[in-house]
Structure 1
Amino acid sequence: MSDFLPLDRLLNQRRPDHFVIATRADQAIHFDQFEQLISAWHTAFLQSPGQRFAMYFADSIDFAAALLAAWHAGKCVYLPGDNLPATCQRLATGVDAFVGDFPVAETLQAASVASITEHLPTWATLDRQAEALVVYTSGSSGEPSAIPKKLSQLFDEVEALASLFDPTVGESQILATVSHQHIYGLLFHILWPLASGRPFSAQRLAFPEDIAAALASHQQCVLIASPAHLKRLPDNLPWATGKSHVRAVFSSGGPLPAEALPECRQLLGQAPIEIYGSSETGGIAWRQRQVDGATQWQPLPNVEFAITDDMLSVNSPHLADTGWFQTSDRVRATPDGFELLGRADRIVKIEEKRVSLSALEQALQASGWVDEARVCLLPGHRTVLAVAAVPSPQAWALHDAEGKRSLNQTLRRILAAEVESSVLPRRWRYVWALPQNSQGKVRDNAIQALFDPRRPSARLLHQENELVRLQLDISAGLPYFDGHFPIAPILPGVAQIELAILFGRELFPLPGSFLGMEAIKFQQVIPPGTKVTLELAFKPDRGMLTFKLQSDQGSHASGRILFGDRT
């Protein structure tokens, strides 16, 4: 840890002016440039009367500079996971101003770098006890909960990561598929590299093609990733060159399936170092499954754990208070740590009967008919269980040959051995992948959205780079047909555009704000019962989503939809 510089003293002890802090498009950003950017934001924060600032940046360098500036100005930063309009609306009542890439009318702007170059502040040591960050977690329910953090919690965890992993990581470039807007990405992609003197990349690697290219272009690198990417590494990309450059791969935000390990070892040269923790607890434990069958987790430095009635409790500097925190995870003790057994809080009552959602998911996945499954509650006049599942090839074959109803009945028979018939799932949705956020977590609100009556059944036909093709079943039951028109119903043009945006957001990292449309054409009407092919192509550099709707009858609609960040 010879290059380690505690984050509370990063600016007043300083690194050399030409020390490389980060890279943007292969251009090095040196410490003196970084400090100037921090100073520009620091001036803006000092001139603002507010105390609570919502912050969102796509660029990690801009984010890191604004974050440090806010802390040195004595401000508290609220860190949402996205910048969607609904998120902005929720934040508006709790913060004084917005900073960065938010689609709102007014955001705080940095002062001109030129105006402060000759008058850099005299930086003080940060107050480690300051409650200077609020992160959000939705657990499994989907409703965001605010979690305040003291700087000591963050800085102590950074020191623990450095003491454990710095010798392995060495002098590497830090690359990330995850967002710094979440606690895992913040710690591993921003704060730990800043403290240990390791350059981090400005842009997130959104696609497997980006990952393969980035690994190949850096002689030594570390990949900060999530299961969402690591379990879907296509073996047809040129991994061989970059594999030898990888010093370490980290994974967190959700469980990494054992089935993903062979491809990680083959394509990336090693098994990922997995980090277990939560927004509330910070990091708890780690493991690296170099051999199949390994399940043990080892606690991170300075983390204590205890097991009472199979439930895990932890005590560490990463917690808000001194004392023990009981998690909702069931565990089993092992010689040097523990083994996770699943969540205890996924027990629900249906018709006054207790049902383990995890047990149902495990039964489905063990059947051979389902590769992945998530069971959730659907609220309404009567609460029912619903299943979103990724069918296996044999299940898709049954679906195609005999219909969805036949596959539903097959899976219900499997679950009948687990629960009484009165509580069996009543709704089923078959998808190509379970929806995950940028941290690789599957949220119940995202699963529930799959059952929105406005979302047609969809089948992924082809996916390559930034082009996908889907088959949509435009059934008569879609509410878009209501009143349009009673005698000869057709799918409205605005609904066709809405479907393009809906599936575009599921499949691509579209920017938060809709900016407009170009070259929209409607060639043929779409009546109920039509199976249409939706082709989507996304150009990230232009924020452009191109769509085409076609069927056996020919072309129905096409156009371009523009997205970006409002300024």
Structure 2
Amino acid sequence: MLKALEGSGDTADAVVVAGAALSREQLRAAAGAVAARVAGAPALAVLARPGLETLVATVGGLLAGVPVVPVPPDAGPKEREHILRDSGAPLLAVSAADRGAEAYGARLLTVDPAERGEVPAEPGEGTAFILYTSGTTGAPKGVLLSRRAVAAGLDGLAEAWAWTPDDTLVHGLPLFHVHGLILGALGPLRTGGRLVHTGRPTPAAYAAAGGSLYFGVPTVWSRIAADEPAARALASARLLVSGSAPLPVPVFQRLRELAGQAPIERYGMTETLITLSTRADGERRPGSVGLPVGAVRTRLVSETGEPVPHDAESLGELQVSGPTLSDGYLGRPDADAESRTADGWFRTGDVAVIGPDGFHRIVGRASVDLIKTGGFRVGAGEVEAALRDHPEVLDAAVVGAPDADLGQAVTAFVIAAGPVTGEQLTAFVAERLSVHKRPRRVVLVDELPRNALGKVLKQALLRQC
């Protein structure tokens, strides 16, 4: 899985995190020291701050064959305690600055990137990660990701993105999710090339990094698109990748104008890794997440379980099959059964449409983005895209608010760039989409609630309805 960790062309700054650098050989040796200390443990929790210590601890756990459990550094006491106790991790790897961290029964293991140790042979099989993901209810569930699934996902993306040892990957994403940790940190350690993690994903940091491949979430790309010098500085990059949430079309167009190329979008989940992506050599369509990656297969299913036609209009639940699927949820056979179909496909819970050419467009979560209003089914994503086409709209989020007459009323929360009224926006959408898709209510806001990856927290918006 880490096959490029001892590749040729090593440099003193092969891995850079928040300005601190290691060669690949130094990373291997530092990780070897961690591997010797954690060997035989059932799991290794890692307090995943943006520092070399997180990367060293993660690689050390993987070399030792110990499942790595990333812990968000901003997790509250309840969430951290749940992750540590539920995962059964007896060790919490931290930097020297976090030696006083609360470990809830686990033992603190201080990681020193300058330490050196013997490097064990990397295991071929087993669980690589236990990544915790939250649903709409209950405590976060631990997703079991195998080494085989991670390798298949990274190899599929390397092929789709033409990712080679000549690339320098730049990003500043959190190191406790699939996007920032598995793609953004392990990707270069499998495909080769350099990694530059900017610590924070600021436009200035991205512009100064001189990368060929950049990862970002829509919030990051929106800020870069608004900073003309930073966006123009990315013109020498080979590929700009956006994920974790839909990229607003105006941001897509602005990046294409300033950086000289359109970004590509991809789709995945913690439970499936990245399953869909625009290819580096393929068409880049705003709002599209492209085609299945590697050996991944997809299908659309109606609420009654019938196949949905690939006509670029019909909505269905996206289901996924293939080598990147997780091995289920830790200690949750009930959740495993609920998430899989009888023939083994994973139920993503996302609503999508697929075109005749196989291109996928994600409409949103079935739980909050499939709005049933007056007998019609409306995809929130379609209405959001229409709203973002208005010249005075910076961003928009649409939910189905409870309504005694309609069941749910299409309700839009909009960040406006200039003077515009709710009535004007409603009329704008009605001119472009079916009348039943127009917002019944428009709420102008200064910002939308988001999580660390930039996804809009729609449950929080529903509570305002």
User: TM-score when scaled to structure 2?
Assistant: 0.73
Whether contact under 8 Å (1:373, 1:390) holds in the other structure is yes
Q: Aligned residue for 1:123?
A: 120
Task: Compute the displacement of 1:447 (Å).
Answer: 3.7
- 2:48 aligned with 1:57: yes
Q: SS at the partner of 1:263?
A: helix
Q: Which has the higher strand share?
A: 1
Quickly say closer, same or farther: Cα 1:82–1:233, change in 2 above 3 A.
same
Tell me, yes or no, if the aligned pair for 2:57 and 2:111 is still in contact at 8 Å: no
- Residue 35 of structure 1 and its aligned partner are, at CA, apart by 2.1
2:46/2:70 contact within 8 Å kept = yes
Aligned to 2:141: 145
1:324 paired residue among 325, 332, 345: 345
Amino acid at match of 1:313: Q
Counterpart for residue 462 of structure 1: none
Structure 1 segment 136-215 matched on structure 2, within 5 A? 136-139=132-135, 144-166=140-162, 171-214=166-209
The yes-or-no answer on 1:89 pairing with 2:81 is yes
Match of 2:35 among 27, 42, 50: 42
The residue matched to 2:144 in structure 1 has which SS?
strand
Q: How far apart, in 2, do the equivalents of 1:80 and 1:70 lie?
A: 14
Spell out, residue by residue over 1:126-145, the C-alpha distance to the aligned partner (whole angstroms, 9 max, x if none). 132x1231113335669633
User: Residues 152-301 of structure 1 correspond to what in structure 2 (within 5 A)?
Assistant: 152-166=148-162, 171-214=166-209, 218=210, 220-239=211-230, 242-287=233-278, 295=288, 297-301=290-294
Q: What residue is the counterpart of 1:440 in the other structure?
A: 454
CA–CA distance in 1 between the matches of 2:355 and 2:91?
47
What is the deviation of 1:64? 1.9
Moved more, 68-77 or 93-102: 93-102
Cα distance, 1:410 vs. partner?
A: 9.0
Measure the CA separation in 2 of the matches of 1:269 and 1:112: 41
Q: Match of 1:315? A: 321
CA displacement 1:295-354 (0-9 Å, x = unmatched): 472221112233423443322110136943243333234224444455444378999989
Aligned partners of 2:61, 2:215: CA distance in 1, in Å?
A: 25
**Matched residue count:** 416
User: What is the alpha-carbon root mean square deviation over aligned residues?
Assistant: 4.2
Paired AA for residue 128 in structure 2:
A
1:64-113 deviation per Cα after TM superposition (whole angstroms, max 9, x unaligned): 21012112333222224443324323324324342226673356234667
Moved more, 357-366 or 324-333: 357-366
8 Å contact 1:364–1:373 — kept in the other structure? no
In structure 2, the CA distance between the partners of 1:331 and 1:80, relative to structure 1 (3 Å rule), is farther
State the distance in 2 between where 1:161 and 1:349 align. 33
Contact 2:362 2:381 in 1 (8 A): no
Counterpart of 2:94? 100
What is the identity percentage for the equivalent residue pairs of Structure 1 and Structure 2? 21
Cα distance, 1:388–1:146 mapped onto 2, change above 3 Å:
farther
Give the structure with higher Rg (CA): 1
Partner amino acid for 2:380? S
Where 1:108 maps in the other structure, the secondary structure is strand
Q: Deviations over 1:2-51 (max 9, x none)?
A: xxxx42x566x6657757531256664212321232123223324xx852
Give the 3 Å change call, closer, same or farther, for CA 181–241 of structure 1 in structure 2: same
Kept in 1, the 8 Å contact 2:63–2:121? The answer is yes
* Aligned counterparts of 1:420 and 1:234: Cα–Cα separation in 2: 29
Residue from 326, 330, 334 that aligns with 2:356: 334
Deviation at residue 228 of structure 1 after TM alignment: 1.5
Aligned letter for 1:299? P
Q: 1:186 to 1:305 in 2, by over 3 A?
A: same
Distance, in Å, in 2 between the alignment partners of 1:235 and 1:363 is 19
Query: Structure 1 length as normaliser, TM-score?
Result: 0.62
| Structure 1 residues without counterparts, runs of 5 or longer | 1-5, 399-406, 453-567
SS at match of 2:162: helix
Quick one: distance in 2 between partners of 1:408 and 1:171?
A: 52
Quote the offset at 1:55 in angstroms: 1.6
